[in-house]
Amino acid sequence: MVDGRPCVASSVVLPKTYRYLAERSGSSYRELFVCGTSLRAQSLVSDMENEGWTAAETATMYHIPVDAVVEAVQYVHDNEEYLASQRCRSRDQAIAKGYLRSTP
């Protein structure tokens, strides 16, 4: 609790700085992207895990440094709750706009 109020579970854990990740101005996504790309860290890690790639293989596939992949993995795992809430928000917005159907 902070000042008598419960802490919000969906806040992002940000260290002082990231070397390879940053917010992307103009993006509706409130998560971090791999610098110099339009690639969200969460998408990178999802692809890596779904394909069974190592960090080195992922770096090769996306033409980015291995350290960028490692940093993205750490960010995603440190912020799982926040990123899940962002996925829900995006889905709710898509339903509201008629892009997706609501599931019963």
Segment 12-28, tens digit of pLDDT: 555 558 999 998 887 77
- In this prediction, residues 21-41 reach a mean pLDDT of 87
Q: Are 14 and 71 in contact (CB under 8 A)?
A: no
Q: pLDDT per residue over 49-87, tens digit each? A: 999 999 999 999 999 999 999 999 999 999 988 887 777
Contact 61, 53 (CB under 8 A): yes
Question: In terms of pTM, does the model score above 0.85?
Answer: no
b/e sequence 83-96, b meaning 16+ C-beta within 10 Å: bebbeeeeeeeeee
